[in-house]
Amino acid sequence: MSCSICKEDGHNAKTCPKNNREPVQAESHVLWVKFDNVTPQQADELLKGAIDLKSAVAPNARGTFAKGTKSEMPQKIAEALKLNQTSISNEPKKIE
């Protein structure tokens, strides 16, 4: 698999020598995404794709993802917001 930034083999976006972007300043910019009318399988694929894309495009960003039914979502979003306040990890968080 080649680097998503320079397309060369042997490293990834996190370790790319051409990635000189500054780390995202904490809480300066966020992206909120919601997909409606998806099957559980589509939700799984979208989640995997979003995590992969986040790692490639914004390796220093902190990612939090929630998936579930419409009725579960308010509680999951509340949990996600709590995670964001206390998390120091760059790894994506999944609220299952």
Torsion angles phi and psi, residue 70, rounded to 5: -55, -40
Name which of 4 and 84 has its Cβ closer to Zn ion: 4
Give yes or no for residue 59 binding Zn ion (CB under 5 A): no
Residues linked to residue 64 through DSSP beta bridges, in sequence order: 93
Q: How far is CA 1 from the centre of its chain?
A: 19
Give yes or no for residue 6 binding Zn ion (CB under 5 A): yes
We find the least distance from the C-beta atom of residue 28 to Zn ion, in angstroms, to be 25
Give yes or no for residue 16 binding Zn ion (CB under 5 A): yes
Largest CA distance in the chain: 44
Residues that bind Zn ion (CB under 5 A): 3, 5-6, 16
